[in-house]
Amino acid sequence: MTRYSHSKQWQKGRFQNPEGWPGRTGLRELLRWQLGSRPPRDHQFVPKTVPNDGQKLRENANTPSVTWIGHATLLIQLEGLSILTDPMFAPRMFTIKRLAPPGVALTNLPPIDAVVVSHNHRDHLDEWSVKALGPQVQYVVPIGLGAWFQKRGLPLVHELDWWQDYTLQARGGAVRITLVPAQHWSGRGLRDHNQSLWGGFVIESPTTRCYFSGDTGYPAAFAEIGKRFPDIHYALLPIGAYAPRWFMSPQHIDPEQAVIAFGELGAQNFIPMHFGTFQLSDEPLDEPPQLLRQAMGSQTEKIIELAIGETHWSQRSR
């Protein structure tokens, strides 16, 4: 099959992680985990939230900002543009309920100029959410995923391979979006395993450079990303859904690995995500930020720990 023969990651009819990166756990391991002895679910945990009606975000014309909406959904504002990551606004994913509503309701968002989608797993790409955003939004996605959007009446989709980029024009200057490698996999059903690529994104304007990892294991390509994109101002990295390690480690970093990745990136600030919104794994829900602070040691001042709904306003405005 030569469907995506131009991509180095397309091998034997599927996309693959590079040689030497840990292989994904399979169905047998999944059943072993799901059917084995697991800790009880935490029904008492309440994530930190702050009210956000979106008014300041809608009024924002030029101040870089990052707002955590929940899980891997964040709103990044640069050069007057509003860019959404991995849109998931639904109240549940299958039988797994949200632990808190979206930090900014979809109807209260500013007009969205573009959406970046790291991969097609349902907690990162929710069909109801993208349909609600509407056909006027531009989507920047890994190769192999464009047809999924087009079939749903969302025609403005731009497919990228690793290290390829797409530029959005803005009033304050161009915003360049580059798809960068991640150690993960793709699939929404039983027949589409690794039929689309996955990755993270570097989103950069004349004043600000952000890295959004999506889902990833370790070692991935953090050092190479940091080399190609020096002076990353904000690294948006996952710190949850890591237990048990024997099952999760090929696809999800834990807080200690996230700190290592942060160092390899050479980033200035760490914005944690992918925790406290859905209970997807076995670690205690309040554990990820605690382990993150421990692992950061004397550099905890570099952590910008947002509550769901909270906005970090940068000083990098024009």
Mean pLDDT, range 81-101, rounded to an integer = 96
What is the structure's pLDDT at 55?
A: 98
**Residue (of 86, 51, 114) closest to 200 by Cα position:** 86
For residue 318, what pLDDT band results from cuts at 50, 70 and 90? very low
Mean pLDDT, range 70-81, rounded to an integer = 97
> The domain spanning residue 106 has which CATH number?
3.60.15.10
Domain assignment of residue 260, yes or no: yes
Domain that holds residue 71: 47-313
Domain assignment of residue 256, yes or no: yes
Domain assignment of residue 8, yes or no: no
Whether pLDDT at 192 is above 70:
yes
Mean pLDDT, range 266-273, rounded to an integer = 98
For residue 97, what pLDDT band results from cuts at 50, 70 and 90? very high
- Which residues partner with 311 through β-bridges? 67
What is the structure's pLDDT at 316?
A: 59
**Residue (of 303, 291, 153, 297) closest to 234 by Cα position:** 303
Domain assignment of residue 85, yes or no: yes
Mean pLDDT, range 120-130, rounded to an integer = 98
Phi then psi for 63, rounded to 5 degrees? -90, 120
pTM: 0.96
Report percent pLDDT > 70 for the chain: 98
* Each residue's pLDDT tens digit, 199-238: 999 999 999 999 999 999 999 999 999 999 999 999 999 9
Mean pLDDT, range 108-116, rounded to an integer = 97
Which distant-in-sequence residues (6+ apart) come within 8 Å of 224 by Cβ?
181
First vs last C-alpha separation in the chain: 49
* Residue environment code for 60-81, b if the CB has 16+ CB neighbours within 10 A, otherwise e: beebbbbbbbbbbbbbbbbbbb
Which distant-in-sequence residues (6+ apart) come within 8 Å of 9 by Cβ?
15, 16, 17, 18, 161, 162, 197
Whether pLDDT at 22 is above 70:
yes
Whether pLDDT at 48 is above 50:
yes
Mean pLDDT, range 281-309, rounded to an integer = 97
Note whether 182 and 16 are within 8 A (CB). no
Note whether 94 and 133 are within 8 A (CB). no
Number of domains the chain is built from: 1
Domain assignment of residue 11, yes or no: no
What is the structure's pLDDT at 173?
A: 82
Domain assignment of residue 18, yes or no: no
Mean pLDDT, range 112-136, rounded to an integer = 97
Alpha-carbon dihedral sign for residues 113, 118, 119, 121: negative
Which distant-in-sequence residues (6+ apart) come within 8 Å of 153 by Cβ?
131, 135
User: Six-digit token pair at 211?
Assistant: 């890295």
3-state secondary structure of 116: strand
Note whether 13 and 1 are within 8 A (CB). yes
Whether pLDDT at 317 is above 90:
no
Count CB atoms within 10 A of the CB of residue 236: 28
